[in-house]
Amino acid sequence: MSETLKVVENATCTFCGCVCDDMELTVEGGRITKAKNACVLGKAWFLNHHVEDRPVAAIEGRAATLEEAVERAAQILARARYPIVYGLSDTTCEAQRVAVGIADRIGGCVDTTTSVCHGPSGMAFQGVGEVTCSLGEVKNRADLVIFWGSNPAESHPRHFTRYSVMPKGLFVPNGRKDRTVVLVDVRRTKSAAAADVFLQIKPRKDFEALWALRGLIKGVKLDPGIGDSIGIPLAQLEDLGRRMKSCKFGVLFFGMGLSMTRGKHLNAEAALALARDLNRYTRFVAKPMRGHGNVTGADNVVSWQTGYPFGVHFGRGYPRFNPGEFTTVDTLSRGEADAALIVSADPMSNFPQPAREHLQRIPVIVLDPKLSETAKVAAVSFTTATYGINVAGTVYRMDDVPIPLRPAFESPYPSDEKVLRAIDERIRNLQESA
């Protein structure tokens, strides 16, 4: 059988926050057979993609039509007293926007996977502010690149080559040779091989080390005992402080080693404050290494629409932001939510036990291209088309730069946006006739 072969140029990979938009995809008979320029994660993302053989929707595990499932989902959400909307990092901004609208309409919470990723960093931005820049500036200017609690070699494989370590730039014409690369981590990860300096810090000592650096760059004399406590000898910390002050353009990329470890937003605040302080001497920025394809888009969309990036509640008719109260692990673990709309996320496989237990007690509506663990326990599940591969739209790269998607082929399933619009519309009808 002869099958048409199609090549899609400048397609976008949405597997990680690098959002590489230089993919060249070969499509043969409803499958991607080649993904030129993709890294090992991107290749796995594209080449394993296949159209699932599942009904478009299911109610209580039984196949249903799209209309029936939309009806049931709208009924559940319209009746709920404390509904939550969660997920959103693996879908387009267009779909995210509709999901926020639904939360507003039903007076519920809207929260994204940011809350279990860089949510604490989001809190820190509000506390300290953010000295930032695009990855293009990093590529063209940065001569000191520090990764702290982040392992790009395994989580963002093309970050080094595309943006931060290898590329030749306007003010770093020799690329790698013009840069000093430092890695600070509790584990000697595969990223250590790319670094000139590796500092193995003791677990849960990030805040102390960052705060000590703040002191050092201001000329404060520190007790050498600090070395034993953080696992990095004072002389090495002083050396790092000197490099930070004397570089032309420094960047501190921080990962979930800071935001997921005790101290969380305070760890991130220490990193942001250090970068801010350094601008007395040179140009220095601090940036979170964002994970999922469009988690940065989720922050942007929720912020445009509510004024806050995640953990927002509309129960009083206006948006209120309170991490720890309106974030999803909390609304579930405390048993408050009485219905959940989950878009492209799988809390049943990665949330703490008390949150998972509550999810099994309440009606859950799931939109996902795959039969996730959460879809397996859902009252209503929708099989949707995969963003980037089947669905066009916009995603935000980790540095808040919007990037258009160029899908490879069409899916028989509807997009998240289409399903969400139908649910939203039906909820409005139900509310108007009530």
Report the partner that residue 120 touches, choosing among other proteins, ligand SF4, none (CB closer than 5 to 8 A by kind).
other proteins
CA–CA separation, 222 vs 213, rounded Å?
10
The two three-digit tokens of residue 400, written as one number: 């808040």
Task: Give per-residue burial for 72-104: e unless 16+ CB within 10 Å, then b.
Answer: bbbebbbebebbbbbbbbbbbbbbbbbbbbbbb
Q: Establish if 58 lies at the interface with ligand SF4 (CB under 6 A).
A: no
CA–CA separation, 333 vs 344, rounded Å?
20
In angstroms, what is the minimal distance from the CB of 168 to other proteins?
26
Which run of H or of E encompasses 27? strand 23-28
> Residue 347 has what DSSP assignment?
H
Whose Cβ is closer to other proteins: residue 124's or residue 301's?
Answer: 124
Report the partner that residue 311 touches, choosing among other proteins, ligand SF4, none (CB closer than 5 to 8 A by kind).
other proteins
Residues 315, 107: contact at Cβ < 8 Å?
Answer: yes
- Residue 380's beta-bridge partner residues? 59, 365
Residue nearest to ligand SF4 (CB): 42
Whose Cβ is closer to other proteins: residue 300's or residue 372's?
Answer: 372
- Residue 109's beta-bridge partner residues? 84, 313
In angstroms, what is the minimal distance from the CB of 23 to ligand SF4?
7
Report the partner that residue 18 touches, choosing among ligand SF4, other proteins, none (CB closer than 5 to 8 A by kind).
ligand SF4
Q: Establish if 158 lies at the interface with ligand SF4 (CB under 6 A).
A: yes
Whose Cβ is closer to other proteins: residue 111's or residue 424's?
Answer: 111
Which run of H or of E encompasses 342? strand 339-343
Nearest to residue 56, comparing CAs of 67, 44, 41? 67
Whose Cβ is closer to other proteins: residue 49's or residue 179's?
Answer: 49
Number of residues near ligand SF4 (by CB under 6 A)? 13
Which positions lie near other proteins, rule CB under 8 A? 15-16, 40-41, 43-45, 48-49, 111, 115-116, 119-120, 123, 151, 153-155, 157, 186-190, 200, 202-204, 231, 256-257, 259-262, 264-265, 291, 310-311, 323-325, 327-330, 332-334, 346, 349-355, 370, 372-373
Nearest to residue 323, comparing CAs of 125, 184, 159? 125
- Per CB under 6 A, residues contacting ligand SF4 are 13, 15-16, 18-20, 38-39, 41-42, 156-158
